[in-house]
Chains A and B, each alone.
Chain A
Amino acid sequence: METASPQIKNKSISVALLGNPNSGKTTLFNSLTGLNQKTGNYPGVTVDKHVGTTKTTNGIKLSITDLPGTYSLYPKSLDEEVACKVLLGNDIDVSVVVTDSSNLKRHLLLATQVIDLKIPVIVVLNMIDEADALGLKINKEELSRLLGVKIVAVNSRTKEGFEELKSIITGATISENTFYDVSKPNELSATGFKNIIEKQFEKNEEYKTKLDLFEEKDTVYRFNVINYIFAKTVTLPQNATRTFSDKADKVITHPIFGYGILLLVLFVVFQFIFFIAEFPMAWIENSFAFFMEKTSAILPAGQLNDLLVNGVLAGLSGIVVFIPQIALLFLFIGLLEDSGYMARVSFIMDKIFRRFGLNGKSVIPIVSGVACAVPSILGARTISNYKERLITILVIPLMSCSARLPVYTLLISLMVPDEMIFGIFNLKGIILLGMYLLGFVATLATAFVLKLIVKTKEKSYFIMELPVYRMPQWKSIGVIVVGKVKVFLWEAGKVIMAISIVLWFLSSHGPENDFEKIEQKFSQQINTPNNNSKQELIKQMQAQKLEASYAGRLGKKIEPAIKPLGFDWKIGIALITSFAAREVFVGTMATIYSANDSENITSVREKLILEKDETGKPKYNAAVCLSLLVFYAFAMQCMSTMAVVLRETKSWNWTLIQFFYMTGLAYLSSYLVYNLF
């Protein structure tokens, strides 16, 4: 055996961790490195790159990269391609192939391919506890000899084998054995396996055809060798059945109970995201409000103060407030995935969703859209088919998210009195439910249309492992949640921040000296001694300033365009400012109508009910309210979502198509609704 020479002199070894999905690779990675992780991007693609560090007992630093899960080095998705390319690069000193001990045959396929690249390799027999429990015996020495590399058995739960793994990484070897057919060298195999794998990324049609043939033959050949190795090294128990999973699946994939359990799971997730998350969210908002108040009081009044408080801090608050929902959603997704339940959801939903150009794996991201589109779009990564993933991302924002809730609440309360129908149903509640249904119908209908439009050479398939049920590991999921929150804060945060500052500028600055004139007009009245309505006057001044600001002028500019929908320039301002986030609508309306308490929906409502149009009739009648409701249901009024869509699709085209489609749909629907009523 030839010993590799990792850069021990630098005291840092670069390790690639790879394995099949469900090999327990990420759990192992999280157990090994804990929170010493950095999440970045692989150059040119949107696949997350997770790098963590740990130290061996000799003080050698190991820099471990967790590669995306892959079944082979013949990639079939973007994730698999990334994993393959990293291995071919020169940055990796040692490759650690993680395998599921109780499902060794299939997992060894990848291991033999990586060994054939002639790079230093270590094979990990992961989840050795499960193999033990099944009564499966693996002869490690013999397996190590046949593969020609070092082998270590580990258990991520008890950390058994961790120290051994770390200590043998420095002595990883390049195997002298080969696992592809070298007996009758042909045009391809004569060049060596690494060369074959490298050349598959060149766009050469002629080569591709030869390669396709080779890949199939090679895989069959490898399995023949693996069957031989398996027979030599693994002793199977008499009957290795996983009774628990079988029994659980009788219920979980049952025609009636299956869907019932799914509904129950979704219900619990929503309870958490809607109601439990509200407490930390309110706490964050209050803290920011307190902080903003203090900052504005401490710093001298002026432009800088205003920018800092109403631009930067307000923007920051709008980002941080999402953290509880994002963390909770990823906690649940993590639990559902690690336990093996998610695979069953895909299994029972695939047929329904396939008709709409989606995949069984689209269910959770789409339904989570009711909480917030941002984490849901990130959650669509589990879909390997490009077209199905793209459609999922494009339709998610049509689901009515939690930010629409305050807008819906305000508008519905303007439109209908507190009335019960049939004695038990609250009319408001029914309209609210209708809004959510409207969103869901639009989501599926749009997916169906996109299915006909989006072209892909990739064939839609659903070949997915149903892993056995496992107890999720909290620590590993915790590490993932922290990572996701960090990515959101940084990636989406910078865009939200920038737009918040632009919106701040537009709504707090006006052309010429209009602002000064307004201030002069009010200053005398405000400074009159014994003036009881001082607060009221300040509110009025703010309202007039907003009207004179660039945002106000924009609102008036777009008035002709939104007039057919029943909106005036005041709503126009709210539409512009709430582009940042839908819930800003309520706050803006509060400012425009100089309501006393912008946090309190009731006070805004009272002002709006009193608002009259030119003919003296109430301005906010059913037609205007319904028109606005429909507009907010469909319009892409959320820059965080756009930022995430851009990041996930890496395509300005699709981001803009989605924006214009949703805005167009909102406009047309509002127009129809306003004119029908």
Chain B
Amino acid sequence: MKTLDKLKIGESGVIKELTKKGLSLKLIEMGCLPGEKITLTKIAPLGDPIAIEISGYELSLRKDEASSVVLED
């Protein structure tokens, strides 16, 4: 299962689904919907958090949160 936190800088993927309860609503509201294309743009100097580009803007989130975003194979 490929998840968002496994991407390298510049790599893209398409969201398949969101796991984990509680946070998914926040992620959906920020535009992380199944079918959306996502590109990893930055990794913070200490390896966490990360930043992604989604629907035309940049969003930062922790790796823990990113691990709940499952990508298409």
**A103-B56, A253-B45, A465-B59 are known contacts. Are A223 and B65 too (CB-CB below 8 A)?**
no
Q: Number of residue pairs across A and B with beta carbons under 8 Å?
A: 104
Q: Which of A344-394 contact B (CB under 8 A)?
A: 346-348, 350-352, 354, 360
**A72-B29, A461-B26, A461-B65 are known contacts. Are A105 and B55 too (CB-CB below 8 A)?**
yes
| Beta-carbon contact of A459 and B22 below 8 Å | yes
| Beta-carbon contact of A466 and B59 below 8 Å | yes
- Asked if B70 lies at the interface with its beta carbon under 8 angstroms from chain A, I say no
Q: Note all chain A residues with C-beta closer than 8 A to B29.
A: 71-72, 74, 106, 109, 219
For the complex formed, measure the closest distance between the CB of A337 and the CB atoms of chain B, giving whole angstroms.
Answer: 15
| Beta-carbon contact of B45 and A103 below 8 Å | no
**A103-B56, A351-B44 are known contacts. Are A462 and B26 too (CB-CB below 8 A)?**
no
* Nearest A-chain residue to B43, judged by Cβ: A253
Q: Note all chain B residues with C-beta closer than 8 A to A106.
A: 29-31, 55, 57
Q: Note all chain A residues with C-beta closer than 8 A to B23.
A: 459, 461, 463
Q: Which of B28-73 contact A (CB under 8 A)?
A: 28-31, 33-34, 41-42, 44-49, 51, 55-62, 65
Q: Note all chain B residues with C-beta closer than 8 A to A246.
A: 41
What is the bound-complex CA distance between A249 and B31, given in angstroms? 22
Which 10 pairs from chain A and chain B are nearest by CB? A255-B45, A466-B58, A351-B46, A106-B31, A463-B61, A219-B28, A351-B48, A103-B57, A462-B62, A72-B29
| Beta-carbon contact of B60 and A347 below 8 Å | yes
How many residues on chain A are close to B (CB under 8 Å)? 42
Given A71-B26, A220-B33, A463-B27; 7 other pairs, CB 8 A cutoff = A76-B26, A106-B57, A347-B42, A463-B30, A463-B60, A463-B62, A465-B60
| Beta-carbon contact of A461 and B62 below 8 Å | yes
- Asked if A564 lies at the interface with its beta carbon under 8 angstroms from chain B, I say no
What is the bound-complex CA distance between A9 and B33, given in angstroms? 46
What is the bound-complex CA distance between A105 and B32, given in angstroms? 12
- Asked if A216 lies at the interface with its beta carbon under 8 angstroms from chain B, I say yes
Main secondary structure of the interface of A (DSSP, over half): helix
Q: Note all chain A residues with C-beta closer than 8 A to B31.
A: 105-106, 223
For the complex formed, measure the closest distance between the CB of A349 and the CB atoms of chain B, giving whole angstroms.
Answer: 9
Interface string of A189-227 (1 = CB under 8 A from B): 000000000000000000000001001100110010000
**A215-B25, A216-B24, A259-B45 are known contacts. Are A350 and B55 too (CB-CB below 8 A)?**
no
For the complex formed, measure the closest distance between the CB of B7 and the CB atoms of chain A, giving whole angstroms.
Answer: 17
Q: Note all chain B residues with C-beta closer than 8 A to A360.
A: 49
Binding site for A on B (CB under 8 A): 21-31, 33-34, 41-42, 44-49, 51, 55-62, 65
* Nearest A-chain residue to B55, judged by Cβ: A105
**A105-B56, A466-B58 are known contacts. Are A223 and B28 too (CB-CB below 8 A)?**
yes
What is the bound-complex CA distance between A309 and B29, given in angstroms? 57
For the complex formed, measure the closest distance between the CB of A507 and the CB atoms of chain B, giving whole angstroms.
Answer: 51
* Nearest A-chain residue to B48, judged by Cβ: A351
For the complex formed, measure the closest distance between the CB of A221 and the CB atoms of chain B, giving whole angstroms.
Answer: 11
Q: Note all chain B residues with C-beta closer than 8 A to A664.
A: none
Q: Note all chain A residues with C-beta closer than 8 A to B45.
A: 253-255, 258-259, 348
| Beta-carbon contact of A347 and B57 below 8 Å | no
| Beta-carbon contact of A350 and B30 below 8 Å | no
What is the bound-complex CA distance between A32 and B29, given in angstroms? 29
For the complex formed, measure the closest distance between the CB of A582 and the CB atoms of chain B, giving whole angstroms.
Answer: 36
Q: Note all chain B residues with C-beta closer than 8 A to A352.
A: 46
What is the bound-complex CA distance between A249 and B26, given in angstroms? 25
What is the bound-complex CA distance between A148 and B35, given in angstroms? 28
Q: Note all chain A residues with C-beta closer than 8 A to B65.
A: 461-463
Contact partner of B44 (CB less than 8 A), chosen from A103, A212, A240, A348, is: A348
- Asked if A676 lies at the interface with its beta carbon under 8 angstroms from chain B, I say no
For the complex formed, measure the closest distance between the CB of B34 and the CB atoms of chain A, giving whole angstroms.
Answer: 8
Contact partner of A464 (CB less than 8 A), chosen from B24, B25, B34, B60, is: B60
For the complex formed, measure the closest distance between the CB of B39 and the CB atoms of chain A, giving whole angstroms.
Answer: 11
For the complex formed, measure the closest distance between the CB of A184 and the CB atoms of chain B, giving whole angstroms.
Answer: 20
Q: Note all chain A residues with C-beta closer than 8 A to B48.
A: 350-351
Q: Note all chain A residues with C-beta closer than 8 A to B22.
A: 459
* Nearest A-chain residue to B36, judged by Cβ: A223
**A219-B28, A253-B42 are known contacts. Are A462 and B61 too (CB-CB below 8 A)?**
yes
- Asked if A508 lies at the interface with its beta carbon under 8 angstroms from chain B, I say no
What is the bound-complex CA distance between A640 and B24, given in angstroms? 41
- Asked if A102 lies at the interface with its beta carbon under 8 angstroms from chain B, I say yes
What is the bound-complex CA distance between A254 and B43, given in angstroms? 9
| Beta-carbon contact of A249 and B25 below 8 Å | no
| Beta-carbon contact of A462 and B60 below 8 Å | yes
For the complex formed, measure the closest distance between the CB of B36 and the CB atoms of chain A, giving whole angstroms.
Answer: 9
What is the bound-complex CA distance between A105 and B30, given in angstroms? 10
Contact partner of B49 (CB less than 8 A), chosen from A105, A220, A223, A347, is: A347
Q: Note all chain A residues with C-beta closer than 8 A to B47.
A: 351
| Beta-carbon contact of B59 and A347 below 8 Å | no
For the complex formed, measure the closest distance between the CB of A135 and the CB atoms of chain B, giving whole angstroms.
Answer: 13
What is the bound-complex CA distance between A76 and B29, given in angstroms? 11
* Nearest A-chain residue to B34, judged by Cβ: A220
What is the bound-complex CA distance between A360 and B60, given in angstroms? 11
For the complex formed, measure the closest distance between the CB of A105 and the CB atoms of chain B, giving whole angstroms.
Answer: 5
Interface string of A152-193 (1 = CB under 8 A from B): 000000000000000000000000000000000000000000
| Beta-carbon contact of B30 and A462 below 8 Å | no
Q: Which of A658-677 contact B (CB under 8 A)?
A: none
| Beta-carbon contact of B33 and A466 below 8 Å | no
* Nearest A-chain residue to B63, judged by Cβ: A351
What is the bound-complex CA distance between A154 and B2, given in angstroms? 42
Q: Note all chain B residues with C-beta closer than 8 A to A72.
A: 29
Contact partner of B28 (CB less than 8 A), chosen from A103, A220, A245, A343, is: A220
What is the bound-complex CA distance between A350 and B23, given in angstroms? 18
What is the bound-complex CA distance between A501 and B6, given in angstroms? 62
For the complex formed, measure the closest distance between the CB of B64 and the CB atoms of chain A, giving whole angstroms.
Answer: 8
Q: Note all chain B residues with C-beta closer than 8 A to A253.
A: 42, 44-45
